[in-house]
Amino acid sequence: MLYAASDTMARYMPHECDDCEETFETLSALRLHDCPGEKPAEDSGFDVDDWMTDRGEKRRRERESLAAEVTDEAFVDLLETARDSTDQNTAVRLLADYEGELNDALDANDNGDGYRAVFWTYYEPVVERIDNVCRREGWPFVTELMDAYDHRADGEIAEVTAVVANLVARSLIRTRFADGVDAVPATAVNFLASIQAYDTETFEIADEESHHLGWAIGHPEIDVEGRILDTVPNNETWAAAAAKRALYVDQTAVSLYCELIETAEEIGFVLDTLAHFEGEPGSLLFPRGWDIDAEFDRDFSRSFEPETKRRLRETISDNGYDSRLPDDWDFDDLELRWG
């Protein structure tokens, strides 16, 4: 059973900062807000890092406790059964039951507290267990999941589309590392590319997982660069997030990013992402919950190549975005809050 997106559901998914408890309508607003919890207390002997960790742990325990109250025991048992399983039927049942638990929690008259608790408590465990099967069975099984939860055929995003998108993105990245982008099925690229056209304000985690379309840059059958640029008029934040991944994978995508800088009207997030490009990649550069260091023996850090840096700096200057920066500005300075 697929749940039709609604205004009620959208109200159920505010995003609350674990540190200052302020709520935001979008994850982007949450990530970019100026949290007072991040400011060190002066001369108080107060350890902000410890306080933030303790508060996050407290919120996690509260959500897990609520999730345990509203979740059917059969689902929890299945989750445990699937822990080390590579059985396709078990994985399919787990995904369907997770969707059912989310729909049941959504029907409760609790202002969405149960829904959020079930979603966040079980999202990553469900993904990890099904991913065990994806790694064993490869693209045939991943394709079955895409077909079963195809938002293009259903006309709406399902509660578990985010899970499927996460699994598709993991398989895409693995295939790129192992065999090159040419070996990635075009159906997988199209699946990720199409998500952002649906109700992604309500289903924002599915939207975030679809950012990993950028990992398919250079695909021989699909113009990934064009797909990203086509979204700029309606969703510049999505375009910037996908383009950042493309640039991370292949710095010839600097042309894409320069065009994004030239065409975006709300330039803040577009430039801010460049401030965090070098060094170790941020967690959201990869699908949620994926321990890439445990799976891959490789260096994931990145630095700008000289030509990439030159072209980005030139484009930023040509468009006047350096007017509020120091004369000797570097990309770290792009963390400034732009208008």
Considering the domain boundaries, does residue 84 fall inside one? yes
pLDDT (tens digit, 9 = 90+) per residue, 317-332?
999 999 989 999 999 9
Within this chain, do residues 203 and 253 fall inside the same structural domain, yes or no? no
pLDDT value of position 60: 77
What region does 255 belong to: left with phi over 0, alpha with psi -120 to 50, or beta?
A: alpha
pTM: 0.84
Considering the domain boundaries, does residue 47 fall inside one? no
Confidence of residue 39 (pLDDT cuts 50, 70, 90): very low
Of all residues in the chain, what percent carry a pLDDT higher than 90?
66
Within this chain, do residues 309 and 260 fall inside the same structural domain, yes or no? yes
Q: 253: which 2 tokens? A: 């995508």
Q: 115: which 2 tokens? A: 């829904």
pLDDT (tens digit, 9 = 90+) per residue, 157-194?
999 999 999 999 999 999 999 999 999 999 999 999 99
pLDDT(144) > 70: yes
List of residues 6+ apart from 253 with CB closer than 8 A: 214, 217, 225, 243, 246, 247
pLDDT(280) > 60: yes
Within this chain, do residues 78 and 189 fall inside the same structural domain, yes or no? yes
pLDDT value of position 112: 87
Considering the domain boundaries, does residue 336 fall inside one? yes
Query: DSSP for 240-255?
Result: HHHHHHHHHH-GGGHH
Within this chain, do residues 63 and 193 fall inside the same structural domain, yes or no? yes
CA distance 314 to 309: 8
Q: Minimal CA–CA distance to 191: which of 173, 213, 170?
A: 213
Within this chain, do residues 202 and 265 fall inside the same structural domain, yes or no? no
Which residue range(s) make up the domain with 126?
Answer: 1-27+57-216
Domain finish residue from 165, 185, 216: 216
pLDDT (tens digit, 9 = 90+) per residue, 225-244?
999 999 999 888 899 999 99
Considering the domain boundaries, does residue 147 fall inside one? yes
Q: Give 13 or 329, the one with higher predicted confidence.
A: 329
Within this chain, do residues 110 and 238 fall inside the same structural domain, yes or no? no
Within this chain, do residues 133 and 82 fall inside the same structural domain, yes or no? yes
pLDDT(43) > 70: no
Give the number of domains in the chain: 2
Within this chain, do residues 14 and 162 fall inside the same structural domain, yes or no? yes
pLDDT value of position 50: 64
Confidence of residue 338 (pLDDT cuts 50, 70, 90): very low
> b vs e for 70-94, b when ≥16 Cβ sit within 10 Å of the residue's Cβ?
bbeeebeebbeebeebeebebbbeb
Give me the mean pLDDT over the 207-211 stretch: 95
Give me the mean pLDDT over the 204-211 stretch: 94
Q: Give 280 or 257, the one with higher predicted confidence.
A: 257
Considering the domain boundaries, does residue 34 fall inside one? no
Within this chain, do residues 85 and 2 fall inside the same structural domain, yes or no? yes
Give me the mean pLDDT over the 7-23 stretch: 53
Within this chain, do residues 239 and 174 fall inside the same structural domain, yes or no? no
pLDDT(26) > 90: no
Give me the mean pLDDT over the 4-19 stretch: 48
Of all residues in the chain, what percent carry a pLDDT higher than 70?
82
Considering the domain boundaries, does residue 322 fall inside one? yes
Contact (CB, 8 A) for 228 and 243: yes
Residue 302 dihedral angles phi and psi, to the nearest 5°: -135, 150
